A and B are shown apart, each in its own frame.
Chain A
């Protein structure tokens, strides 16, 4: 997108995310042409929307569209949702065994409003295939858990492979990489809001006759948070160069950085930030959950290290 177009698009998406969530946000995104943008310029569509979504602590089915688009399925906003891997996992949620498709994964809130769900399973030789499984054949449990407002569902099942139409071979790893970038931006957005909440509190809250933001101990925690978030933002932006190489590390790094920022911000917000009367807790909850989707942060980092040690070589450097 051109600079002006991008600015306009960004403003539209930010306004939508600030005023709608769930199905309403999906509808607003449709009106904004977000789905077309995803097909034409996935970098702009993903980075803008997911950072706004994280910053506003809202939900949408955009991750389904990102994964579906990358898998080569219809990018149509009404197409079936994609079942995510089980918590912490990168491997697809399906496994084919003896004519059965075993399913164990997670899904976003929109899963219950569609008659089918797309389940990806390994097909041997590093290939993957997708099956559109009727929702009625799956067990779907609405998760309250740590972050009830995220609307996550646990999906499981043992279905005949003939239960739904095979959607053919597809690029699961490519889809995961794009999904990891999306989650990275959502984490970043959550981090930026936590920092803004803590910053405003530091300016407003007076103790010992002065705003607590004048105390160096507080200022340094906020500075530390900004450094953490800017580092994550830089790696996410650079990761678009080659998502297959950099998306996983960008997502795990961002998760860790946002958790660092969250700890500092929680401390600055102190008592009020520990209550449900203050919005901070929503962002902390969202952060912890997102850090576990499409690969647990620590596991992705460990896998990167294992690759480096096994091959004796670091990832390609970012060229000027």
Chain B
């Protein structure tokens, strides 16, 4: 299906199914409510085929360009039907499965997450391994018919809801750094896994600590080759900085639009509004070009860090205006709408921290795009 036809058909379908798709709660809702809403929307869009277009047929998709699913994400977030961050998780976990999982495993599992039957999480960061991912220590050792995993992950979004986890483990010696890492696809109901949610400052238990105590992972859950997990992580990150960000920008545009309409007269400075509009439009121009490069079969790499730096700047600039122009709602409001503005303002503070901090993105740009050589 061509993109232009797809857009018209999706928009018409979203209009027709607006009641069925609408959330059953006001404001930000609880995380459980957001996830139920997300899975409902996934099921409806999957069963109507929209969410299958843009993914390959061997994992339950119907083929077609990545632009199709990019548009679906844009349309759903722009209508506030899904939370943009939660929605975009498969955008980087599914390509990992496509590239590195045994074909039968990918064919069995991917449709479940695309249809909203399952939630997946990404076990990368550890207490001692934030920006320095290659220092991870969660260990996998060979055992009969598979591997035994022991260690700890943290900042694992949605782990308390997830059925599966894309997990990075240490299989080489401690000093092997990026050369001794292996990736697995782990069932979260395996004996030995325990999960402790952490409450963020915007009041949501979005991520967790995950403890692995002698967890047995079958051999057929290996992703890629033993000791080659680093390349899986590196392949995943540009996806985290491409389609997911296109969707996030659609959400930011909706909030900026709502801010302009909601702000009391005189509370928004003309220059500030113009500057933030220019920045967000520049990001969307950049992100659109990235989507088209992906569609043309180009390999996305370090240059996607530019996209990530830009959207984080745009998000914080928009919510700085929110905190000022809608100060009464953000500071004093106890209604659902105020709660949403407040939570989203707080969440924007993390935009330069998650998914590779602003500093890591600049390191990547300096080393790999500007080719400035080693940093020591």
Query: Which parts of A49-84 form the interface with B (CB within 8 Å)?
Result: none
Q: A304 to chain B: which residues have CB within 8 Å?
A: 273-274, 277-278
Distance of A213 Cα from B291 Cα, bound (Å): 32
A313: interface (CB < 8 Å): yes
Among A215, A227, A237, A249, residue most surrounded by chain B Cβ atoms (within 10 Å): A227
Q: What residue of chain B has the Cβ atom nearest to residue A304's Cβ? A: B274
**CB contact between A302 and one of B271, B306, B363 (< 8 Å): that residue:** B271
B332: interface (CB < 8 Å): no
**CB contact between A220 and one of B250, B272, B281, B359 (< 8 Å): that residue:** B359
B281 with A219: CB separation less than 8 A: no
Query: Which parts of A261-320 form the interface with B (CB within 8 Å)?
Result: 298, 300-306, 308-309, 312-315, 317-320
B372 with A202: CB separation less than 8 A: yes
**CB contact between B289 and one of A213, A237, A313, A314 (< 8 Å): that residue:** A237
Query: With A226-B365, A227-B306, A249-B281 in contact, is A214–B374 under 8 Å at CB?
Result: yes
A130: interface (CB < 8 Å): no
A235 with B282: CB separation less than 8 A: yes
Q: What residue of chain A has the Cβ atom nearest to residue B367's Cβ? A: A219
**CB contact between A301 and one of B253, B260, B278 (< 8 Å): that residue:** B278
Distance of A302 Cα from B273 Cα, bound (Å): 8
Among A203, A237, A305, A312, residue most surrounded by chain B Cβ atoms (within 10 Å): A305
Query: With A226-B306, A304-B274, A320-B288 in contact, is A246–B375 under 8 Å at CB?
Result: no
Distance of A319 Cα from B366 Cα, bound (Å): 31
B370 with A305: CB separation less than 8 A: no
Query: Which parts of A105-122 form the interface with B (CB within 8 Å)?
Result: none
B257 with A313: CB separation less than 8 A: yes
B277 with A226: CB separation less than 8 A: no
Distance of A105 Cα from B318 Cα, bound (Å): 37
B275 with A301: CB separation less than 8 A: yes
Query: With A302-B271, A303-B274, A314-B256 in contact, is A220–B279 under 8 Å at CB?
Result: no
Query: Which parts of B241-271 form the interface with A (CB within 8 Å)?
Result: 246, 250, 253, 256-257, 260-261, 268-271
B271 with A298: CB separation less than 8 A: yes
Query: With A237-B285, A252-B278 in contact, is A320–B362 under 8 Å at CB?
Result: no
Distance of A223 Cα from B286 Cα, bound (Å): 16
Q: What residue of chain B has the Cβ atom nearest to residue A215's Cβ? A: B375
**Chain A contact residues, majority secondary structure:** helix
Q: What residue of chain B has the Cβ atom nearest to residue A312's Cβ? A: B261
Residue-by-residue, is B285-321 near A (CB-CB < 8 Å gives 1, otherwise 0)? 1101101000000000000001001100000000000
Q: B361 to chain A: which residues have CB within 8 Å?
A: 223
Distance of A199 Cα from B199 Cα, bound (Å): 43
Distance of A235 Cα from B271 Cα, bound (Å): 18
Chain A: residues with Cβ within 8 Å of the partner, total of 45
B285 with A235: CB separation less than 8 A: yes
Q: B260 to chain A: which residues have CB within 8 Å?
A: 308-309, 312-314
Min CB distance A102 to B, Å, is 29
Distance of A305 Cα from B256 Cα, bound (Å): 12
B373: interface (CB < 8 Å): yes
B283: interface (CB < 8 Å): yes
B271 with A315: CB separation less than 8 A: no
**CB contact between B284 and one of A203, A227, A318 (< 8 Å): that residue:** A318
A171: interface (CB < 8 Å): no
Query: Which parts of A167-208 form the interface with B (CB within 8 Å)?
Result: 199, 202-203
Query: Which parts of A221-257 form the interface with B (CB within 8 Å)?
Result: 222-224, 226-227, 230-232, 234-235, 237-238, 246, 249, 252-253, 256
Distance of A232 Cα from B74 Cα, bound (Å): 23
Q: A246 to chain B: which residues have CB within 8 Å?
A: 281
B3: interface (CB < 8 Å): yes
Q: What residue of chain B has the Cβ atom nearest to residue A303's Cβ? A: B274
Distance of A309 Cα from B373 Cα, bound (Å): 46
Min CB distance A210 to B, Å, is 8
Query: With A219-B366, A226-B306, A238-B285 in contact, is A305–B274 under 8 Å at CB?
Result: yes
Query: With A219-B363, A231-B286, A318-B284 in contact, is A214–B270 under 8 Å at CB?
Result: no
Q: A320 to chain B: which residues have CB within 8 Å?
A: 3, 7, 67, 70-71, 74, 246, 288, 291
B376: interface (CB < 8 Å): yes
Min CB distance A184 to B, Å, is 12
A213 with B372: CB separation less than 8 A: yes
A216: interface (CB < 8 Å): yes
Q: B306 to chain A: which residues have CB within 8 Å?
A: 226-227, 230-231
Q: B376 to chain A: which residues have CB within 8 Å?
A: 214
Kindly list the 4 A-B residue pairs having the minimum CB-CB distance in the complex, ordered from nearest.
A305-B274, A305-B273, A238-B285, A219-B366
Q: Which residues of A contact B (CB under 8 A)?
A: 199, 202-203, 211, 213-216, 219-220, 222-224, 226-227, 230-232, 234-235, 237-238, 246, 249, 252-253, 256, 298, 300-306, 308-309, 312-315, 317-320
Q: Which residues of B contact A (CB under 8 A)?
A: 3, 7, 67, 70-71, 74, 246, 250, 253, 256-257, 260-261, 268-275, 277-279, 281-286, 288-289, 291, 306, 309-310, 359, 361-363, 365-367, 369-370, 372-376
What are 13 A-B residue pairs whose CB atoms fall within 8 Å in the complex? Answer: A199-B370, A214-B372, A214-B374, A219-B362, A220-B359, A223-B362, A223-B365, A226-B370, A298-B271, A304-B273, A305-B268, A305-B275, A314-B277
